[in-house]
Amino acid sequence: MGLGSLLFLGLVAVVLIYAIVVYNSLVRVKHAVAKAWANIDVVLKQRHDELPKLVEVCKQYKQFESSTLERVIAARAQVHSAREHQDIAALGEAEGMLRMGLGRIFAVAEAYPELRANENFMQLQTRISQLENAIADRREFYNESVNINNVRIEQFPDAIVARLFHFDARPLLEFATVEKADVDVKALFG
């Protein structure tokens, strides 16, 4: 075997080893995105389970604004559907509607001193607020994982391996326009 053959085999081995390293790295990044999504899913499920309790406590106060409760129930169903189908765009939109509804419930509750004094209501309000903070943190982690994934599959030479093995870009979890807008406090209390 000649020197040229050895150099060629060495070059093929280096390229093959590099492709394996890049492939394994892309697999880790892909699974980091899946893990980040699963972390969001866990907290969304927890909040999904808490919302009916909050609605029921509010319903005990007969004069409590039923349209607000209906909006929260409808938004909860949309979030659940988007979560089940892993539809990131629909989830972002439904989350905005749900957050607006929850904000409205908590704002309207200010007009009901008996409700505000209800221990169950206060515990649920605290629990849901904690879950909202956890969702925000996990959204940030998910979007960071997606960003790393999307950059890696576009960078040369990783893009070659990514295209060869069908590594796809993932969508960011973007907020609904309504969620990014300033809160109209007057409308909340009106």
Whether 3 maps to a domain, the answer reads no
pLDDT value of position 43? 93
Evaluate whether residue 46 is within a structural domain.
yes
Instruction: Answer yes or no: is 15 within a domain.
Output: no
* Chain segment 17-71, per-residue pLDDT in tens: 999 999 999 999 999 999 999 999 999 999 999 999 998 888 887 677 788 888 8
Domain of residue 120, residue span: 21-189
Q: What is the pLDDT of residue 176?
A: 64
Residue 9 lies in a domain: no
Q: How far apart are CA 1 and CA 18, in angstroms?
A: 25
Q: Is 153 part of a structural domain of the chain?
A: yes
Establish if 98 belongs to a structural domain: yes
Give the CATH number, domain containing residue 73: 1.20.1440.20
Structure confidence at residue 35 (pLDDT):
96
The reported pLDDT for the residue numbered 61 is 77
Report how many domains make up the chain: 1
User: Can you give the pTM of this predicted structure?
Assistant: 0.78
> Is the residue at 12 inside a domain?
no
- Residue 65 placed within a domain: yes
Q: What is the mean pLDDT of each run of 10 residues along the chain (190 residues)?
A: 89 94 96 95 93 88 80 92 90 89 87 84 92 93 96 94 95 70 48
Quick one: pLDDT at residue 177? Answer: 56
